[in-house]
Amino acid sequence: MIELAGLGKSYGTVHAVRELDLSVRAGEVYGFLGRNGAGKTTTMRMLLGLIRPTTGTGTVFGKPLGDPSSVARIGSLVESPAFYPHLSGRDNLRLLARYSGLDDSTVDSSLELSGLGERAGDRFTGYSLGMKQRLGVAAALLGKPELLILDEPTNGLDPAGMREMRELVRNFANNGGTVLLSSHLLGEVEQVADRIGIIHSGRLVAEGTLAEIRTRLGGPRLVVRAEPAAAAETALRAHPGVRSVRRDGTTVEVDLGTATAAGINRGLVVEGIEVSELRVEERTLEDVFTGVTAA
Ligand SMILES: Nc1ncnc2c1ncn2[C@@H]1O[C@H](COP(=O)(O)OP(=O)(O)OP(=O)(O)O)[C@@H](O)[C@H]1O
C-alpha cells in the first residue's frame, strides 16, 4: 500500500526525515511512533504529495507520491483542516463534498463514523478541540477512502474520545481499509496497531509487530549482585551470548541476548565469584521505546 525507500527531506541544514524505508501493507493499522519533532508530519506530507522529498522515492497504491489518482483514494487528517467558523460541521462537510464532486450521502455516513453525533448541526466556532478533531476525521472519511492517513488523531480528545477513535480506526481496517496513524504516545498506538514503526531524529529506528520489536530490541535483562563486582563484570562480558553489560557499584545489569540466567550463574560460580542476587526483569515496550528514542 505504501512503500518508501531512502526517503529524505531537508530544510537547509535541518534533516527533518532521513533515509526512511517504510512499508505499510494493505488492510493493516500501522502506528507511526515518535517524539515531537521526530519527522512524522513531514513524512505524511510527503506521502500526500504536499511537499516534495529531497532524496529517495516512494509509492502509494503503486503510484509515485502525490499522483492524483492515488491521492483520490486517500483520506487524511494531517494539517488542521480549515473550516468555516460560522457554518455547522455538517454544512462544512457538505461544502467539502461538493468541492470534491462527492455525493451528499457521504456526509452523513462519515459524520456517523466520526462520533460527532448531534453536535454536527452546531456552528464550528462553538466546537471543543475534541469536536474539531472529530470533524477533521469526518472530513477525511468523505468519499470512502481506502487508505486513511491520520496525524495524531487523538489530539485534544478525552479518554472516552480516544477509545472511540481507536474503535473507528479498528473498524475501518476490519472493513478492509488501511490506516497509517502517528502518535507520540506508545500506549495509544500499542492498543490499535498491527505493526509499528518508530521514528527518531528523522530515521526509522525499528519496525515490526509489537512482539517482534519487543523480542528484537527488548529482550529480558538480568540484574546480578556479586562479589567482587569487577570480576563479575569481566566474567559476564566474556560469557557467550550476552549482548551488553553495565556495572553500577556492586550491581551488574546484563542484556541477556541468547544467554540464560542459569548458565550465567554457573559461569560466575565456576570463576569463584559469590552471587548474592540474580533477578530477571522483563522489559516493557515502553522501556524499548524510551531506549530507542533517547536523545
Ligand atoms: N517547513 C519547515 N521548515 C524548517 N524546518 C521544518 C519544517 N517542517 C518541519 N521542520 C523540522 O523538521 C523536524 C521534523 O518535524 P515534523 O513536524 O515532521 O515532526 P513530527 O514528528 O511530526 O513532530 P510533532 O509530533 O511535534 O508534530 C523538526 O525539527 C521541524 O522543526
Of 10, 41, 198, the residue with max ligand 1 atoms within 8 A of its CB, to mutate for a pocket test, comes to: 41
pTM, two decimals, is: 0.81
- What is the rounded CA–CA span in Å between residue 30 and residue 207? 10
- Our answer on whether the CB atom of 13 is closer than 6 Å to any ligand 1 atom is no
Q: Which H or E run includes 41? A: helix 40-47
pLDDT tens for 164-204 read 889 889 989 998 999 999 998 888 888 899 999 999 988 89
Atom number in ligand 1 closest to CA 199:
21
Tell me if 34 CB under 6 Å of ligand 1.
yes
Give tens-digit pLDDT for 30-78. Answer: 999 998 889 999 999 999 999 999 999 999 999 999 999 999 999 999 9
C-alpha 11 to ligand 1 mean position (Å): 9
Same domain, 259 and 161: no
Question: Given CA atoms 159, 165, 168, 171 in this order, what sign does their dihedral have?
Answer: negative
CA 41 – ligand 1 centroid, Å:
7
pLDDT band, residue 96 (cuts 50/70/90): very high
Q: What was the ipTM of the complex prediction?
A: 0.93
Q: What is the CA radius of gyration of the chain?
A: 24
Residue 36 CB less than 6 A away from ligand 1: yes
Q: Is the pLDDT of residue 80 over 80?
A: no
Cβ of 37 closer than 6 Å to ligand 1, yes or no, is yes
Same domain, 34 and 174: yes
d(CA 79, CA 82): 9
Measured in Å, residue 264 CA sits from the centre of ligand 1 at 46
Q: Which atom of ligand 1 is nearest to 45's Cα?
A: 18
User: pLDDT tens digits, residue range 250-263?
Assistant: 899 998 888 899 99
Ligand 1 contact, 51 CB (< 6 A): no
For residue 127, the domain's CATH number is 3.40.50.300
11 close to ligand 1 (CB < 6 Angstrom): yes
The residue whose CA has the least distance to atom 10 of ligand 1 is 16
148 lies in the same domain as 110: yes
Q: Please give the average per-residue pLDDT across 86-101, as a whole number.
A: 93
Task: Say yes or no: 164 and 266 in one domain.
Answer: no
Q: Are residues 102 and 147 in the same domain?
A: yes
Of ligand 1's atoms, which has the minimum distance to the CA of residue 184? 25
Alpha carbon of 142 to ligand 1 centroid (Å): 27
Is 169 in contact with 153 (CB distance < 8 Å)?
Answer: yes
Same domain for 70 and 192: yes
* Residues 151 and 236 placed together within one structural domain of the fold: no
What is the maximal distance between C-alpha atoms in the chain?
A: 80
Residue 14 near ligand 1, beta carbon < 6 Å? yes
Count up the domains in the chain and report the number.
2
Mean pLDDT computed over 212-219: 74
Q: Are residues 38 and 173 in the same domain?
A: yes
Q: Is the peptide bond before 145 cis (omega within 30 degrees of 0)?
A: no
* Closest protein CA for atom 1 of ligand 1: 11
Q: Is 293 in the pocket of ligand 1 (CB under 6 A)?
A: no
Assess whether 164 and 35 both reside in one domain. Answer: yes
| Domain of residue 190, residue span | 28-43+66-201+208-215
CB atoms closer than 10 angstroms to residue 246: 12
Same domain for 85 and 126?
yes
